[in-house]
Every structure is written in structure tokens, then in C-alpha cells.
Amino acid sequence: MYELKTLLPQFDITLPTCMYELRNVSLSAGATPGPAAHQIQCSGAAEVESNNTKTGICALDLDILGRQIQHLLKNQDTTAVLERQEKVLKQLEELKAQLGQIRASLGVRVCGKTVQHTTAYHNGGLKEVPLHDVVVNGHPNFIPYALLALKNAWRDLYTIDVKTFTHSTMADIGPAAREFEANLAKVSVNPALPKINVTLIWKNCEHTEMISSPTMYVPIYGEVNIIRYLGRVGPTEYRYENSPLCNEIDAVLDICYQLLRCTTHKSQVAMVRLLDKRLQQQQYFGGDQMSVADIGVYSSLIRMPAITDKDLTPALLAWRKRAKLITKI
């Protein structure tokens, strides 16, 4: 056992009268906020140490607690110390629970840590902070079915919590959008899973657009790009940026983007042919695993009522059946 030496010489500091004392901000209000002990004895320090290893508590708090323990020790009041310790332990438990909650809400960051790091590396060290609260503006004539498809596909992995609103520029949203809303509401929410909050606003706007934070990021336009974003913040199984299929998936999503912009039936069918070429005899686009590319294609095809089963190849039809089992639209 040894005694720590104070860094400051033991002066009696006389405070000027123009200053006032700050209130003790520690959670354990009611404890005697006595003057800071100049000497830190080892026992107190050891206790702090042991606490410190249990959880990562804020240093400032411990400092104050340590001082309070010192103060009580000096008074030779062991029962009080015991009580205090009990209280401290209880507070630590509470803190642990709080941290647990935070961890749960940011689940992705914890479980997908490695992925995050590598993307950051690929981006040249840029720090990426996924946003868990986004707004999607969509026109009832161009329903973003991908949200529902992803919600269903990620049922057991990740929660997309969608709240729907109607903007004052839309007098009526129509039956299709209402049905879509009802279907969204049907998917059960598992509170244990990490989640993203999506506010879907039916609005008289030209493009489907996504706004994450007006002060930090520009809006993202197009349903396909929203899928890309969600694919980035969603479960690890659907992150594609580091997979060897990255280029393939991007190419498929780009075709979807073009498909949604086609106005004539002929050009739409041409795009479907391109998709068929990409799919060939695979189970899903880019391999035998469902990916965001499948979500993109599936939701785009729903938005194109002009494309009937006749326009689809047998391979695409078979794929559509497989995808339907997962997307459930």
C-alpha cells in the first residue's frame, strides 16, 4: 500500500468573494458536498478502480464519488460508507441498464462494427454515421413498394418502423396508397431488433425523395437510391458494398432506375430483357442469396402494371415467385 502524493501544495486557498460556489451536479444529491479532499487514500482509489473495470463510467462522476467516500471515511462512519457503496452500486446498475438501452437502439453499430470500419477505410477514412430517423416523400401514384418489401424481408433482422402522413398538398391519396399503408401497419414490430424510423409522407412531389437531416445532408432522389441507403444502414446480411457482387447489384439497381423512367411499353420491355440477361439461371440477382437488387427489381415491377406476365421470361417468373415468398407483396 502506498500513498499518493498530491500535485498541488497544500495551501489554504482563500476564494475571492466575487465568485460563487457551483452546486454539486452529482446524481447522489443530498450527500455532503464537502470540500475536495486533498489526499486520496488507496482504499478509496482501489474501490474506484474496481468499479471502473465493471463498466465504463464517466470519470468526473467517479471523482466526486471517490471524494465523498473519502469524506465519509474520515468521519469514521462505516455504516454510512456501506450505505453509500450500496447506492453507488445501484447507480452503476442503472447506468448499465441505460447503456444497454442505448446499445439496443443503435444495435447496428455494435453488431456491424467490423463492416463499418472497413467501409470507413474504403472511403478514405471518412466517418460514417448512419441516421436512424429519415423522411421519405412519395407520391401516391408512385408508391415506394420497396419499403414494404424490405420491411418484410428484414422481418427477423431489422425493424423499419414506418409512420405514414398525408401532406396538405394531397387532397386524397387513393385506394392503392391506403392499402399500402394498411399492409405496412400489418407487419409486427419486434422491439428487440435494431431499427430505423421512417416517416413516409404522401405528397404532391415529382420524385420519391428521402431527407435524413436537413442541416447535414442533401436529399436522396429516387426509390432505388433509397434502397441503396437502407441497404447501407440495414442488417449486415444485406450490406453489399464489400461483397464481390457489389458491381452486379449496382448495375441491376441502375436498370431499375431506368425502368421506372421508361414511358413506353416497348422501352420497358427492353429493360426487362436486360434484367433477364443479368438474372440468367441464378436463384436471385447476383447469386443464390436475396439482396437489395431483388428488392429493387421486385418493387419496380409492381409499379409497372403495363408489364404483364407475358412480358417476363420463365426465369424471371420463377424468380418473381421466389421473391414473393420473402417480400410478401
Partner 1 sequence: MVEEKENTASANTAAGQEPVSKKGAKKQAKAAKKAEQKAGTAAALAADDAAGDNAADHASGRYGLSEMIQSKDKRSEREFVSVPELSSHVGKGLVWVRGRVHTSRSKGKQCFLILRQQSSTVQCILAVGDIISKQMVKFAGNIPKESIIDIQAKPVSVPTRIESCTEQLLELCVEQIFVISQAKAQLPLQIEDASRPENADEADGLNIRVNQDTRLDNRVLDLRTPANQAIFRLEAGVCRLFRDILTEKGFTEIHTPKIISAASEGGANVFTVSYFKDSAYLAQSPQLYKQMAIAADFDKVYTVGAVFRAEDSNTHRHLTEFVGLDLEMAFKYHYHEVLHTIGNTFTAIFKGLRDKYSREIEAVGQQYKVEPFKFLEPPLILEFAEGVAMLREAGIETGDEEDLSTPNEKLLGRLVKAKYDTDFYILDKFPLSIRPFYTMPDPNNPIYSNSYDMFMRGEEILSGAQRIHDPEYLIERAKHHGIDTTKIAAYIESFRYGCPPHAGGGIGMERVVMLYLGLDNIRKTSMFPRDPKRLTP
Question: Which residues of this protein are in contact with partner 1, per CB under 8 A?
Answer: 133, 135, 137, 165-169, 199, 201, 203, 211, 213-216
Decide whether 149 or 173 has the Cβ nearer to partner 1. 173
One-letter amino acid of 251: A
CB of 88 to partner 1, least distance (A): 20
Backbone angles phi, psi at 201, to 5 degrees: -115, 120
Alpha-carbon distance of 108 to 100, in angstroms, equals 13
Pairing of strands 220-221, 195-202: unpaired
If the CB atoms of residues 162 and 292 are measured against partner 1, the closer one turns out to be 162
Cβ proximity to partner 1, 65 vs 136, nearer residue: 136
In whole angstroms, the minimum distance from the beta carbon of 21 to partner 1 comes to 20
Rounded least distance, CB 214 to partner 1, Å: 3
Grid coordinates of 179: 392499402
Given the complex with partner 1, which of 84 and 203 has the nearer CB atom? 203
117 vs 167, beta carbon nearer partner 1: 167
In whole angstroms, the minimum distance from the beta carbon of 226 to partner 1 comes to 15
Smallest CA-to-CA distance from 231 within 319, 300, 143, 157 is with 157
Q: Which long-range contacts (CB under 8 A, 24 or more apart) does 40-48 make?
A: 40/4, 40/6, 40/66, 40/70, 41/3, 41/70, 41/73, 42/1, 42/2, 42/3, 42/4, 43/73, 44/69, 44/70, 44/73, 45/4, 47/85
Q: Alpha-carbon distance 43 to 67, whole Å?
A: 12
CB of 283 to partner 1, least distance (A): 39
